[in-house]
């Protein structure tokens, strides 16, 4: 990542959480560069290079940049056309005892790439915590509505009944897979370490008088000081851009999950069965005052599409890294990586907001069930007649005729489904008329949905959220919500 580039905070950061916005801010980026330079100096001093205690102390005391230092760095960058060297110069101004040893033996990617790996790992940690909170909120929703019957849809056509809570478990299960994927990606991230200009560590071998063991020790020391368990065993000038693919892939997959959830909510809002939060003073349309547009869910879909396509950038960038590196990755990555994390952060926070205020309308749901359930109950009616000594084929023909009559009423006359009334008025069905109410109970059509919700939450969600890191995030979010 060499050359002249002015770092700017992406536009999306103004809508992201403070943590995520700061993570990819210029202030944190350049602070992290200084931390890495300090770690390198500490390790080099430990291995015998002539670096004074005063130099180390001055570096440690000047890790944060003030406005004046930002201005110095900006002017230097304009002059030198090189961002890293501009900041080496700026750091040396405030830590003069270290000016001669800052960046000793390193290439620009020592700070830029190692810092990016730190940002990727921390960004995934933020997303993992936010995702756990969302899963927790939706799990409470699923538990609350575990047994509320609702019309299921396949091909967006009425199908067998399910429950509101069971449908929510379908969302949660995909989010659990996203949680697993994000955790895997985070735990797999290593450190570039100190590898030199083409990854051969030649400069460090020269600094350490040809001592190969000391070079390896330097790599291990800096890696440990920077908070990583291991460094990639081999690199070019950069860490492999395939790492970016491995990180953005799970984020793109999360985008697909979020888009599906938000789309389901938009469809449910159209049917007036479930709505996202809608403020008392909120305006749905400038012209149509009655509208309650699902604008939060629409925003999730919009941003989720953006998140999904960012993965393509990582794939393309990794595929064109010639030999030990080319610079055509730099400008792309400076946009793509922050945007992916900031967008994922906004998507999760918006979904959390939705999940904390979803409104369910049981009477609307019951009315829609009543419109479709008579047709679904025909098989139960036939079986009841057979149990009472009737002939299946005869019962089937009777129901077929009545069903077609009722369907005509619905489709051609715009009337309600009166199939059950027609059954009640037909003497043929007298033997089971006292059973019709029980046969039409929606609860008898939902199968094991409530039990599936209970087992899923107990056997899959609870263990997944039982990590101390996730429990702490969930408990903290609950306290914040209660305080508000």
Local structure of 360: helix, strand or coil = strand
Tell whether 156 is covered by a domain: no
Which of the two residues, 437 and 331, has the higher pLDDT score? 331
Same domain, 384 and 434: yes
Write out pLDDT tens, residues 391-409: 999 999 988 998 888 888 8
pLDDT at 393: 93
Please state the rounded mean pLDDT for residues 53-70: 97
Asked whether residue 326 carries a pLDDT value surpassing 80, the answer given is yes
Average per-residue pLDDT in the chain? 91
pLDDT > 90: what percent of the chain?
76
pLDDT > 70: what percent of the chain?
93
pLDDT at 408: 86
pLDDT at 56: 98
Tell whether 198 is covered by a domain: no
Same domain, 354 and 254: yes
pLDDT at 483: 62
Please state the rounded mean pLDDT for residues 78-86: 92
Write out pLDDT tens, residues 138-162: 999 999 999 999 999 999 988 889 9
Same domain, 258 and 301: yes
Same domain, 64 and 188: no
Check which CATH number belongs to the domain holding 30 and give it. 1.10.275.10
Question: Sorting pLDDT into bands at 50, 70 and 90, what band is 13?
Answer: low
Write out pLDDT tens, residues 282-297: 545 545 445 578 999 9
Same domain, 23 and 141: no
Same domain, 300 and 397: no
Question: Sorting pLDDT into bands at 50, 70 and 90, what band is 438?
Answer: confident
Check which CATH number belongs to the domain holding 270 and give it. 1.20.200.10
Tell whether 484 is covered by a domain: no
Asked whether residue 55 carries a pLDDT value surpassing 90, the answer given is yes
pLDDT at 284: 54
Same domain, 273 and 384: no
Asked whether residue 80 carries a pLDDT value surpassing 80, the answer given is yes
Check which CATH number belongs to the domain holding 377 and give it. 1.10.40.30
pLDDT at 217: 98
Residue tagged 């019309």 (tokens): 151
DSSP 127: H
Tell whether 482 is covered by a domain: no
pLDDT at 2: 40
Question: Sorting pLDDT into bands at 50, 70 and 90, what band is 15?
Answer: low
Lowest mean pLDDT among 67-76, 261-270, 380-389: 380-389
How many whole angstroms separate alpha carbon 16 and alpha carbon 19? 8
Local structure of 53: helix, strand or coil = helix
Write out pLDDT tens, residues 191-241: 999 999 999 999 999 999 999 999 999 999 999 999 999 999 999 999 999
Same domain, 78 and 32: yes
Same domain, 138 and 93: no
Q: Which domain holds residue 32?
A: 15-106
Tell whether 54 is covered by a domain: yes
Same domain, 133 and 246: yes
Q: CA-CA distances (angstroms) from residue 89 to 59, 66, 76, 398? A: 13, 15, 8, 91
* 32-46, 366-380, 384-398, range with greatest mean pLDDT: 32-46
pTM: 0.89
Domain total in the chain: 3
Tell whether 152 is covered by a domain: no
Asked whether residue 430 carries a pLDDT value surpassing 90, the answer given is no
Q: Which residues are catalytic?
A: 155, 285
Question: Sorting pLDDT into bands at 50, 70 and 90, what band is 4?
Answer: very low
Same domain, 345 and 356: yes
Asked whether residue 14 carries a pLDDT value surpassing 60, the answer given is no
Please state the rounded mean pLDDT for residues 321-329: 92
pLDDT at 117: 98
Same domain, 64 and 126: no
Which of the two residues, 402 and 181, has the higher pLDDT score? 181
Which of the two residues, 68 and 16, has the higher pLDDT score? 68
CA dihedral of 44, 118, 201, 326, whole degrees rounded to 10: -140
Tell whether 227 is covered by a domain: no
How many whole angstroms separate alpha carbon 37 and alpha carbon 101? 9
Helices (H) and strands (E) in the chain, counts: 20, 4
Tell whether 272 is covered by a domain: yes
Residue 343 makes CB contacts below 8 A (sequence gap 6+) with: 12, 255, 303, 306, 307, 310
């Amino acid at each position: 990542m060499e050359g002249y580039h002015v770092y700017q905070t992406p536009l999306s950061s103004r809508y992201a959480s403070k943590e995520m916005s700061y993570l990819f801010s210029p202030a944190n980026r350049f602070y992290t560069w200084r931390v890495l330079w300090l770690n390198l100096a500490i390790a080099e001093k430990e291995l015998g290079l002539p670096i004074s205690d005063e130099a180390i102390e001055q570096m440690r005391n000047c890790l944060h940049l003030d406005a004046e230092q930002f201005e110095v760095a900006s002017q230097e960058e304009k002059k030198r056309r090189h961002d890293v060297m501009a900041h080496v110069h700026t750091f040396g101004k405030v830590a003069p005892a270290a000016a001669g040893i800052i960046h000793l033996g390193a290439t620009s990617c020592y700070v830029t790439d190692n810092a990016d790996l730190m940002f990727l790992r921390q960004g995934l940690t933020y997303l993992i915590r936010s995702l756990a909170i969302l899963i927790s909120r939706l799990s409470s929703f699923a538990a609350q509505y575990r047994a509320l019957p609702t019309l299921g849809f396949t091909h967006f056509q009425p199908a067998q009944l399910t429950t509101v809570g069971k449908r929510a478990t379908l969302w949660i299960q995909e989010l659990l897979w996203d949680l697993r994927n994000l955790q895997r990606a985070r735990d797999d991230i290593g450190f570039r370490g100190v590898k030199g200009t083409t990854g051969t560590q030649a400069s460090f071998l020269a600094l350490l008088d040809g001592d190969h063991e000391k070079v390896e020790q330097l790599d291990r020391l800096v890696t440990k000081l920077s908070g990583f368990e291991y460094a990639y065993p081999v690199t070019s000038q950069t860490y492999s851009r395939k790492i970016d693919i491995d990180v953005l892939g799970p984020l793109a997959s999360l985008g697909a999950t979020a888009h599906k959830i938000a789309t389901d909510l938009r469809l449910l809002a159209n049917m007036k069965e479930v709505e996202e939060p809608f403020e008392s003073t909120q305006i749905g349309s400038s012209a149509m005052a009655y509208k309650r547009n699902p604008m939060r869910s629409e925003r999730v879909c919009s941003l989720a599409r953006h998140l999904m396509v960012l993965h393509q950038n990582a794939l393309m960038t990794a595929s064109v890294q010639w030999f030990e590196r080319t610079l055509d990755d730099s400008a792309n990555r400076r946009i793509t990586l922050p945007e992916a994390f900031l967008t994922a952060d906004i998507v999760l926070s918006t979904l959390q907001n939705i999940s904390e205020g979803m409104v369910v309308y049981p009477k609307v749901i019951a009315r829609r069930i009543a419109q479709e359930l008579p047709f679904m109950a025909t098989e139960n009616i036939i079986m009841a007649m057979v149990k009472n000594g009737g002939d299946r084929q005869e019962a089937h023909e009777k129901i077929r005729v009545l069903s077609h009559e009722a369907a005509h009423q619905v489709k051609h006359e715009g009337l309600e489904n009166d199939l059950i009334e027609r059954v009640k008025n037909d003497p043929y069905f007298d033997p089971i008329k006292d059973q019709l109410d029980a046969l039409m109970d929606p609860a008898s059509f939902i199968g094991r949905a409530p039990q599936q919700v209970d087992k899923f939450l107990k056997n899959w969600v609870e263990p997944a959220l039982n990590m101390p890191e996730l429990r702490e995030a969930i408990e903290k979010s609950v306290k914040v919500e209660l305080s508000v």
